[in-house]
Amino acid sequence: MKNTPEGRASLIFARDVRVSQGARTVLRYAPALAAGLALRLWMLKEIFYSSGDTLVYGGLARNMLRHGVYAFATVHGVLRPTLIRLPGYPLFLALCFRLFGMENDAAVVYVQIVLELLGCVLLAEFARRVAPPALSRAAALGTLWLAALCPFTASYSIALLTETPTLFALALAMWAMARFRDLPGTSPAGSGLQGGGPGWANALWFTFAVVFAALLRPDGALIAVAFAPALVMGWPAKAVPRRRLARMVLAGVLLALAPFAAWTWRNWRVFHVLQPLAPRYANDPDESSYPGWQRWYKTWSLDFASTYQIYWNVPGEPFDVNDLPSRAFDSPAQRAETIALAADYRRDHNDLSPAVDARFARLAQERIRAHPLRYYLWLPLGRLMDMVFRPRVENLPVATRWWAYSRHPFDTCFSWAYAALNVFYLLLGIAGLCLRPRVWAPLLAYVVLRCALLLTIGAPETRYTLEFFPILFVWGGIAAAAAVGKLRAAVTRR
């Protein structure tokens, strides 16, 4: 058929239709992408900053390029191998440094901006596939605008941290999952959807996305746990041959395990420990994780202010008992013991000695025994709520205790406005979920799994819930498209 005149004409016509549809899509997406680019370039000019993690990742990347060793440089210039961070982001930085210059952090930011905007397009295309056919184009545009103009995700594209590549990997995994779930020939007429079906290309894109996410941060593996079942379950036997599906699964699993096998072997060879990911408390094998301090801190920590002022500074910096909230003490005796521990900690040159750490452990056990529900239920739930609903101003020039209106009224008003915008995204996303778009279950599973993981976090940070936003963008875009459709229908009836 392809070699006949009619077949060649049909192929040419199909190609021209795809090109025309692609051109129209570019024109529709261009304004949102231009607005998103402008927002990120403005943020780069006004609020670019470096953090402790930025220096950690940058140091690892530069030592890989200069010395071929995954290590830190000590104050004496000696290279000390480490395993406290997975190699994904240092490798990403090393590639950027090799291409654009060793000290060219700005080039890395530009690459991340491109990655994030590309992720916005992938989310729009994902929304176009999973939304009801009548809403597909409007849902894609709504998703794109929500993603491109979201200041919470945009502010991380200008920071040398893992958030932006992680969000891109999540968007790529969602896009590949939707394409994989689409059987060829089932797309609505005129939808312009191409490349659907359980083919090798979609399977490999999905594998790359989940491996990249897991190499960036250990919690990236949740993407595979939540999404992978949707790729292999529920297929009609006649639509997808079981052997073909099995071959794809086997190839994907082997490709996914290969880099982690190499990382595990490297850690065993260098440190003689079995560490396939990264340690929970970011400590090398010869370093203590200070379990007593960690456990005591979790008996009262609730918000990011404590993380910023206390958790990040210990050990190494003094901590003032007066900075602790009242919930850190159940009695005057506990307060007196905490003051004594802080004094001994300072006498040890701001180091948590085994003796001091053991005393923190005993104090923690006393508090847990007296209030087990507080430790195991109420505080974890409170920390999760803080990470979900707190104003996302942690990387902006806003006071940590922004709620103190008398000291900084502008910061207070701005933070409440940011909190309201955060709630808007959450409510719009929930409204979209209620419409039950296609493959809603894997997305909800990812949110639930991540919430369960975050319940174990003792030092809350709002950036840990940033991974919810690609899903909220899609659900919110579908909800917005449905609302606009109903409004137009109501106006037409009148």
Angstrom distance (rounded) from CA 363 to CA 344:
15
pLDDT at 319: 86
Share of the chain above pLDDT 70, in %: 92
CB burial string 75-105: b at 16+ within 10 A, e below: eeeeeeebbebbbbbbbbbbebbeeeeeeeb
Is residue 480 predicted with pLDDT exceeding 70? Answer: yes
pLDDT at residue 51 in the model: 76
pLDDT of residue 187: 54
Torsion of CA 206, 207, 210, 213, to 10 degrees: -110
pLDDT over 70 at 123, yes or no? yes
> Half-sphere exposure of 61 toward its Cβ, with a 13 Å CA cutoff?
26
Residue range 100-113: average pLDDT?
94
| Whole-structure pTM value | 0.92
Burial 469-483 (b: 16+ CB within 10 A, else e): bbbbbbbbbbbbbbe
- Residue 357's identity, in one-letter code, is D
Q: What are phi and psi of 73, to 5 degrees?
A: -100, 125
Q: Across-strand partners of 80?
A: 72
pLDDT of res. 244: 86
Q: What's the chain's average pLDDT?
A: 91
**pLDDT at residue 52, rounded to an integer:** 80
In the block, which residue shows the tokens 């700005």? Answer: 106
Q: How many residues does the chain have?
A: 494
Taking only the tens place, the pLDDT of each residue in 246-302 is 899 999 999 999 999 999 999 999 999 999 999 999 999 999 999 999 999 999 999
Q: How much is the pLDDT for 18?
A: 52
Of the spans 41-50, 188-197, 299-308, which averages the highest pLDDT? Answer: 299-308
Q: Is the pLDDT of residue 15 over 60?
A: no
pLDDT in tens, 67-86: 999 999 887 789 999 999 99
The residues pairing with 123 across neighbouring beta strands, listed in sequence order, are none
Measured CA to CA, the distance from residue 493 to residue 436 in angstroms comes to: 26
Tokens encoding 8: 């060649």
> If you average pLDDT over residues 106-132, what whole number do you get?
97
Residue 21 banded pLDDT, cuts 50, 70, 90: low
User: What single letter denotes the amino acid at residue 121?
Assistant: V
With cut-offs at 50, 70 and 90, classify the pLDDT of residue 48: confident
pLDDT of 10 over the 60 cut: no
205/36 Cα distance (integer angstroms)? 25
Question: In 310-391, which residue ranges form alpha helices assigned H by DSSP?
Answer: 332-347, 354-370, 372-373, 379-389
Say if residue 206's pLDDT is above 90. yes
Report residue 25's pLDDT band, with 50, 70 and 90 as the boundaries.
confident
Sequence letter at residue 154: A
Amino acid of residue 102: M
pLDDT tens per residue across span 447-465: 999 999 999 999 999 999 9
The C-alpha atoms of residue 60 and residue 85 are separated, in whole angstroms, by: 9
